[in-house]
Amino acid sequence: MSQQDWLYENFEPTGSSIGFRITRKLDEVQSPFQKVEVYESSDWGNVMLIDGAMMLTSRDNFFYHEMIAHPVLFTHPAPKRVVIIGGGDCGTLREVLKHPGVEKVTQCDIDEQVTRMAEKHFPELCESNDDPRAEILFDDGLAYMKNCPQGSVDIIIVDATDPVGPAEGLFNAAFFADCARALKPGGFLVQQSESPLMLQELINQMRDEMRKSGFRAFQTLPFPQPCYPTGWWSVTMAAKEAEADFAFRKADAIGKDFATLYYSAEIHAGAQHLPPFVATVLR
């Protein structure tokens, strides 16, 4: 294959690159916020990029969507009210709505074009968009959380891109303070937290910002993610209660009545034990 048949993202923070062999470009739109592109690949299905950064592929998105949703939902004793900030591709929304006890999920993403592109090129991710429990908003997630009533939410999922551009404000103490205020007692915040292999200091900086906002306990869960820099990614859960131990409802996870491709009770338990080279660095 010639060079022009490959699509690459060079990721400066990790000094690495990820590439896919492509067969054609399917779509492109420039929204008021960012450029969204979709390509057809030879082996990974469709590939979505936002401002040149790999967001998801048809073949491997389940790792991310399942791990940002199911661990926190099985950690909370009885989640009913969930808010997703970001998540415009709707894959996380689909996973959250697999939990029958959830009564309402609000997804707030600033860019409607991400959802429209997902509906067109990743329809499997949007199959729960018409669920009566789902509320899909296209608005500023920062403003949404600032206006969210105090003590009204069980779980907040921050399904954001890298901390640049429209997502930059989702990684600081002011935003986390709004999240802490909106959470009910015993509630959880979970946010994608980049590569635990190469971006450990970013995870520490995120935890520091969360501490400034009233969060006292943290758990970072790693998982494979081939289309992201280094191929290894993470989510970080946070609780306001210092004594939170992040024990999850193992029996419910084992007995879940829905299918997953990666998440299981065993995977969840294993992810709770960070490799020493990560655990000893995180603070």
Active site residues: 159
Task: Give me the residue label for tokens 């009533």.
Answer: 149
Query: At CA 181, angle to CA 176 and CA 182, rounded to 5?
Result: 95
One-letter amino acid at 115 equals T
Distance CA 282, CA 267 (A): 21
Alpha helix stretches (DSSP H) within the chain:
61-75, 91-96, 112-121, 141-147, 173-182, 200-212, 250-254, 265-271, 276-279
Residue 239, beta-bridge partner list: 188, 217
- Sign of the four-CA dihedral 264, 190, 145, 36: negative
Q: What is the distance between the alpha carbons of residues 222 and 203, in angstroms, rounded to a whole number?
A: 12
Q: Which residues contact 235 (CB under 8 A, 6 or more apart)?
A: 67, 68, 71, 72, 190, 191, 192, 193, 220, 221, 223
CA distance 194 to 225: 10
Residue 162, sorted as left (phi over 0), alpha (psi -120 to 50) or beta, turns out to be beta
Give, in order, the Cα–Cα distances in Å from 77 to each of 57, 68, 72, 107, 155. 32, 17, 10, 22, 11
